[in-house]
Structure 1
Amino acid sequence: MQRQLMQIIPHRPTSDGAGVKIKRTLGQTQRTRLDPFLMLDEFKSDSADDYIGGFPAHPHRGFETVTYMLAGHMLHEDHMGNRGDLKGGDVQWMTAGRGIIHSEMPQQDNGLMHGFQLWINLPADEKMKPAEYRDIPAEDIPFVKLSDGGSIKVIAGEVSAEGTTVSGPIQGLSTQPRYWDLRLPPNGTFSQPLPQGHNVFLYVFEGDVAVGADNRRLESGNAGVLGDGTELSLTAGPKGVSVLILSGRPIGEPIAQYGPFVMNTSEEIEEAIEAYRQGRLAS
């Protein structure tokens, strides 16, 4: 049963951090979440004024962030003394858990900065685990050339392609995420089984793509929420397509969110705010 495109979420221009210009699709409102995914932002500009302020020190609790850089140079630092340089093709997978205070600051004052940040929820029994993060250099992310001239990068989960199964560096998480960066040439096709019952969405950042048997089209700058099924089937438009494919096991728990804190109840949110004020959020 092929998954069909059920909802299109056009991006909303906004800013975050110290004035970084972004395109937000998932997470614009509570109704544009897709369990377990909370938010997806794209940042892309070759004007330093759009990104130079970066994301100064700020807290998180109760979820994971995934930063995927296509171009540019960002430095991550956190309260635990960790430092990580993210450059083109690199990924950082950070679990905020019970609390982390970190910054993400540009290490360039000219040229293109392009990437994505994804927020993934954590189930209640994992929200207060110790914070951790993993920097994944581009060379450690599997890159598979497809027979029609396309390619796919496997950041999380696994892909069956060209007669083999390729596993990404992120495995074993309770939400069972799949995170793929697919590039197809004009009119190229891609099919892949996905677990029934998992939630799936796409984000097109170049070109356009037709989804499923009814070939409903998703254009650049839009996220698309797919219906249930067992098979993903995509066909690129006449200019080809670059698209992120995200899949995950839904958690099915209530969500209480206040900015960078994502918990299950309002009482837990109040506790997180008070802990941050008292300097014990990440202790």
Structure 2
Amino acid sequence: MTDPGVLPGGRVRHGTGVHSTRAFPTEAYPDNLDPFVLFERFYIDPDQGFPMHPHEGFEIVSYMLDGGMAHEDSLGVAHTAREGDAMRITTGGGIRHSEFPADGAGCNGLQLWVNLPREKKEIDADYVDADAAALPTAAHDGATVTTVVGDGSPLDLHTPMEYLDVRVDDRWTWEVPDDWAGFVFVVDGAGTVDGDDAGVGDVLPVPEARPVDLVAGGDGDPFRVVCVAGRPHGEPIRQRGPYVL
């Protein structure tokens, strides 16, 4: 596959008044990135949100950056995720849920949709959450890494994958595992990703396994990225609004 280099994220306005910066699919990168359906940073104002709506055929990982998001679903779950907390929903054969900002204030976070393999499209819906303290954080030379999904995290999916929240203070190299695909998305600050300048909302798709070099900018500001990779299913991703067929 062709490596496109660092690309700008696309602006998306949802019908409920929520606005997002999407990594893919966008005009700059119009494809899914098997096994990932889409990824975006969402911003929900106090008077906006997602009323109860259906999903089928994939899994959702929501990771909060600021504020709180109140989730309710057809399984009977009611939970508010706050900064540093994460939620995983397996939509399977069908689930309904709502998402609204909590406490009368806005919120923002990251949401990833992960395709389910064909043989698991109709499995029972499921939900699990993890607070910030449950997600392992480790200091490395040049970076501090929190594992949202992967080794040590209480969240797992039906697709082998890892999801890392990386605060780069100098230089750090991320290794995309063999036979996996992934991406880097800039959450805060500026630096370089594989030698290309990158700022908030920029994305580097990584369609094949290889190392990715991350270098913080020289101004002393934090350079925060998420690094996500997973094993492709090798199956078509057919998204129809809230459904992945």
TM-score, with length taken from structure 2: 0.90
Question: Could you tell me how far apart the structure 1 residues matched to 2:193 and 2:114 are?
Answer: 24
Deviation at 1:147, TM superposition (A): 4.1
Tell me which of 183, 203, 206 is aligned to 2:188. 206
Deviation at 1:52, TM superposition (A): 2.4
- Please name the residue that 2:82 is paired with: 87
Question: Could you tell me how far apart the structure 1 residues matched to 2:192 and 2:207 are?
Answer: 14
Tell me which of 2, 12, 24 is aligned to 2:22. 24
The SS at the match of 2:52 is strand
- Please name the residue that 2:130 is paired with: 136
Question: Could you tell me how far apart the structure 1 residues matched to 2:199 and 2:3 are?
Answer: 12
Question: Could you tell me how far apart the structure 2 residues matched to 1:193 and 1:9 are?
Answer: 20
Q: Which moved more, 1:66-75 or 1:29-38?
A: 29-38
RMSD: 2.1
1:157-204 deviations in Å (ceiling 9; x for gaps): 23xxxxxxxx22234x4421110000012xx11124331221020100
Question: Could you tell me how far apart the structure 1 residues matched to 2:138 and 2:227 are?
Answer: 15
- The amino acid of 1:123's aligned partner reads P
The SS at the match of 1:228 is coil
Q: Which runs of 4+ in 1 moved over 6 A?
A: none
The verdict on how the C-alpha distance between 1:33 and 1:227 changes in structure 2, with shifts beyond 3 A counting, is closer
Deviation at 1:70, TM superposition (A): 1.5
The SS at the match of 2:233 is coil
- Please name the residue that 1:217 is paired with: 197
Question: Could you tell me how far apart the structure 1 residues matched to 2:193 and 2:10 are?
Answer: 22
Cα contact 1:5–1:211 (8 A) shared by 2: no
1:126-179 deviations in Å (ceiling 9; x for gaps): 11000001011111001123344x311101123xxxxxxxx22234x4421110
1:217-262 deviations in Å (ceiling 9; x for gaps): 3322111112533433322222441001000111111222210011
Question: Could you tell me how far apart the structure 2 residues matched to 1:32 and 1:256 are?
Answer: 11
Structure number with bigger Rg: 1
* Structure 2 unaligned residues grouped into runs of 5+: none
- Please name the residue that 1:259 is paired with: 241
The verdict on how the C-alpha distance between 1:7 and 1:32 changes in structure 2, with shifts beyond 3 A counting, is farther
The verdict on how the C-alpha distance between 1:13 and 1:90 changes in structure 2, with shifts beyond 3 A counting, is same
- Please name the residue that 1:43 is paired with: 42
- Please name the residue that 2:217 is paired with: 237
State the number of aligned residues: 241
Question: Could you tell me how far apart the structure 2 residues matched to 1:15 and 1:98 are?
Answer: 27
Question: Could you tell me how far apart the structure 2 residues matched to 1:151 and 1:234 are?
Answer: 12
- The amino acid of 2:64's aligned partner reads M
Which of the pair is proportionally richer in helix?
Answer: 1
Cα contact 2:6–2:193 (8 A) shared by 1: no
- The amino acid of 2:187's aligned partner reads F
TM-score, with length taken from structure 1: 0.78
Cα contact 1:19–1:51 (8 A) shared by 2: no
Question: Could you tell me how far apart the structure 1 residues matched to 2:26 and 2:47 are?
Answer: 23
The verdict on how the C-alpha distance between 1:17 and 1:235 changes in structure 2, with shifts beyond 3 A counting, is same
The sequence identity of aligned pairs, in percent, is 34
Cα contact 2:37–2:239 (8 A) shared by 1: no
Tell me which of 120, 126, 132 is aligned to 2:120. 126
The verdict on how the C-alpha distance between 1:227 and 1:73 changes in structure 2, with shifts beyond 3 A counting, is closer
- The amino acid of 2:13's aligned partner reads S
- The amino acid of 2:160's aligned partner reads Q
Q: 1:7 aligned to 2:5?
A: yes
Tell me which of 167, 183, 196 is aligned to 1:183. 167
- Please name the residue that 1:279 is paired with: none
Q: Which moved more, 1:6-15 or 1:235-244?
A: 6-15
The SS at the match of 2:232 is coil
Deviation at 1:37, TM superposition (A): 0.9
- Please name the residue that 1:65 is paired with: 60
Cα contact 1:6–1:227 (8 A) shared by 2: no
- Please name the residue that 2:96 is paired with: 101
The SS at the match of 2:178 is coil
Q: 1:168 aligned to 2:164?
A: no
* Structure 1 unaligned residues grouped into runs of 5+: 159-166, 264-283
